Structure 1
Amino acid sequence: MTGSLPIAAQVDLRRQPVEDVLARVEQALHVRLDRHALVRKRRSLGSRTEQGTWVRIERRGFERIGPQGWNGTEAAAVLQGVTMPEWYQGVAWRERGEPVMWRADELELMTSPSVGRSALVLDDPGLPDAWWEALNGSLDALAAQRTPRLATPDTVTITQEQVTQTLAEAFPGLADTEIERWAPAHADLTWANVMGPEFSIIDWEDWGMAPRGLDAATLWGNALAVPTLADRVRQERRADLESRDGKLMSLFFLSKIVGSSSYEGDPLLAPARSEAERLVGELQPTPGR
C-alpha cells in the first residue's frame, strides 16, 4: 500500500452502534439476522440467519485494502480439497465520506464451534485423530494450488522485505532470512478460525501466497501454552515446521510474542523465548562450514 492513502479512524465494533449496518446487510442479502446471537469483535460482526446460514461482516480501512481487492472469502470458494464453509453470496460498500469499506458474506453455518475462544488456547481441546487428518488434508490441498493473491496476515501484505525486517529487529543474529518457497496459505490459522470436533477452517478474507509454513507456525505458536498440543501440531505438520522456511515462519510468529511489545503476563512468553532460542540456533551456520 502507498503512504498517500488516508488512514481510517479506528472503530471498535464491540462498542459502536451497528444497527444501520445490520439493516443494510439484511436488505442487500435478503436475510434476517439473529440480533440475540450477534458475535461482536473489534472489527467484525457475525450472526446466524433465519435461513440457517451465517453472515460475517467486516469493516476495513482503505490503507488495509491492497490492489488485489478485498474479496478473499469469495475467492476462496474455488479452492479444491479444503474443508471450509460453502460461500453463497456477498456485498460490499463504502462508508459515506470515510476511507472505509464494509463487506458482508453469507456462508454455510458450521455445526461445530471454534476450537478456541481466541487465537490461542490454554487447555488441550482433545481433538480426535479424524480432526488432525482433515487438517492435514486441507493444508496440503491448499498448498498445492496456485493463486495470484498475496496473503495479508494481520491485514498487512506479507513480503520478503517485511519478513526480513521483522526478523532482523527481533533476532538480529540471523544472517539469512531469504524465503525459498511460497505457497497458498490461509494466513490467519489461529484456534479461533478452526472448528472442532468436526473440522473446518473459517475466515478466509486474508488468504493468498505466503512463505511455506506460515499456517503451521501460526497454529503451533498459538498452542505453546499447552505443550501436548504444540507437540501434536509439530508432529502433524513436521514437514512444514522443520523446513528452513518453516523455521523462519515460526520465528516470524514468535517475534510478536518476544519482541519489543512483549509483556510478562503473556502465557506464551516463556515457551516462546525458549523456542526462539532453539530456532535461532538451528538456523545459524555451523562454524567452519
Structure 2
Amino acid sequence: MYSPPAEPADQQRMRRAFAQSAGLVNATVTGPEVWGWYGRTLSSRVEHPDRGDCWLRLLSAPRDRAAGKIWEGNRKAAALFDGHVHKPFLYDTVESTKDGYTYRAELHQYVDEPTCSPSPVLRTRLALPASWWDSLRTDLEYVSGTATDRVAVRQEWVDRSVPRFLGTPSPRITAWATAHGDLHMANLTASPYLLDWEGFGLAPAGYDAAMLLAYCLLLPDVAQRVRDSFPILGTAPGRVAQIIVVTELLQSASRGDHPELVPALQDLITDLT
C-alpha cells in the first residue's frame, strides 16, 4: 500500500534491522517486504517453528521518540482485545537499539486473506454479506465498551482544526467511546479481521463508523450500507464524529494524502452543517 523511505540509507537501515529482528524471534522470512506509511514500518510474512505462518512487523523511531501512543498501541490492544474480537493475535515483541534508532518487532498471527481494499479510499464496489456487517458491528460494540486511558482524539485538536479546515466553530465532544482509530477497508478483511490497532483509544462516539463512511464516499451505495449498519451516524454524537473525521481527512489531504476524496468530504460537510 505504501512506499519505502525516500532515502536509500533508511531503506537499508530498516532492512538490516528487520533481518536482525527476524532472528531475535526465531523466524524465517518467507514473503515479500511490505512498507508502511512513509516507510515507518516494514513487514513480511515469516515462518516460526512453533507458530507456523506469522506476520512480522518492524516499527522504527529515533531513540528519543520511541514511546507514546503509536509505539505502544499494538501491545496494549493485544492485552485488551485478543480473543475477544476478530483481530490477529500478537504473539511476541522484541526491541533493539542501534545507531540512534530504536526498533520494535511484533510477531503477529498471519491472516491468510486479502484486505477489502488495497487503499484506505475504497474505489471498487464490494459485495459483502449481511453477516460481515453484523460481525463488524459486534466487534466495534465490544471495543467501544472497553475502558482505556489512551486517547485517539483530543478536544484541543478539534478546537484548533475544525475552524481552520471547515471555517465553522468546533463541536464539543460530549459522548466518548473507545475506538479502533483507523477503520477503513484496507484494515478489514473478508472475515472481517480488524488490522492495525496502533492508534486505538478514546474518540467521539461513532468515530469508527464515521471514519469508515468517509473513506467509502466515492461509492455511494457502500456509503449508504455503512449508514444503514451504524445508526449512530444519524444521531447528534454521530454528526460530531463525522465533522471531526472530515476535518482530519481534509488536514491529511492538505499534506498530499488522497486529494481525490476532498470533493466528497466537502459534500458531506455541507449535508452535516
TM-score range, shorter chain: 0.7 to 0.9
CA 1:247–1:181 in 2, change beyond 3 Å: closer, same or farther? same
CA 1:142–1:229 in 2, change beyond 3 Å: closer, same or farther? same
Query: Following superposition of structure 1 onto structure 2, how do residues 219-230 of structure 1 map, counting pairs within 5 Å?
Result: 219-230=212-223
CA 1:186–1:13 in 2, change beyond 3 Å: closer, same or farther? farther
Gaps of 5+ in 1: 1-9, 152-157, 281-289
Deviation at 1:189, TM superposition (A): 1.0
- Per the alignment, residue 42 of structure 2 pairs with 45
1:271 lines up with 2:264 in the alignment: yes
Deviation at 1:94, TM superposition (A): 3.4
Match of 1:112, SS state, is coil
1:102 lines up with 2:98 in the alignment: no
Question: Residue by residue, what CA displacement relative to the aligned partner does 1:72-122 show, whole Å, maximum 9, x if unpaired?
Answer: 21211233532101111111233432xx43221111111221111011111
Q: 1:24 aligns with which of 17, 20, 24?
A: 20
Query: Following superposition of structure 1 onto structure 2, how do residues 91-240 of structure 1 map, counting pairs within 5 Å?
Result: 91-97=94-100, 100-151=101-152, 158-174=153-169, 177-196=171-190, 198-239=191-232
2:197 partner amino acid: W
Q: 2:91 aligns with which of 88, 93, 99?
A: 88
2:89 partner amino acid: E
CA 1:145–1:278 in 2, change beyond 3 Å: closer, same or farther? same
Q: 2:235 aligns with which of 215, 230, 243?
A: 243
**C-alpha distance in structure 2 between counterparts of 1:222 and 1:64, whole Å:** 30
1:57 lines up with 2:50 in the alignment: no
**C-alpha distance in structure 1 between counterparts of 2:148 and 2:106, whole Å:** 21
Q: Is the 8 A contact 1:12 1:43 kept in 2?
A: no
1:214 partner amino acid: Y
- Per the alignment, residue 286 of structure 1 pairs with none
Match of 1:70, SS state, is helix
**C-alpha distance in structure 1 between counterparts of 2:85 and 2:45, whole Å:** 23
Q: Is the 8 A contact 2:96 2:104 kept in 1?
A: yes
**C-alpha distance in structure 2 between counterparts of 1:268 and 1:57, whole Å:** 30
Match of 1:127, SS state, is coil
> Please, which moves more after superposition, 220-229 or 72-81?
72-81
> Please, which moves more after superposition, 251-260 or 164-173?
251-260
- Per the alignment, residue 3 of structure 1 pairs with none
Match of 1:199, SS state, is coil
Q: Aligned-pair RMSD on alpha carbons?
A: 2.5
Which structure has the highest helix share of the two? 2
CA 1:74–1:12 in 2, change beyond 3 Å: closer, same or farther? farther
Match of 1:79, SS state, is helix
1:58 partner amino acid: L
Q: Is the 8 A contact 1:121 1:223 kept in 2?
A: yes
2:55 partner amino acid: W
Q: Is the 8 A contact 1:13 1:40 kept in 2?
A: no
Q: Is the 8 A contact 1:187 1:214 kept in 2?
A: yes
Gaps of 5+ in 2: none
Q: Is the 8 A contact 1:224 1:271 kept in 2?
A: yes
**C-alpha distance in structure 2 between counterparts of 1:164 and 1:173, whole Å:** 10
1:70 partner amino acid: W
Match of 1:58, SS state, is strand
**C-alpha distance in structure 2 between counterparts of 1:72 and 1:257, whole Å:** 21
Q: Percent identity?
A: 26
Q: Is the 8 A contact 1:59 1:101 kept in 2?
A: yes
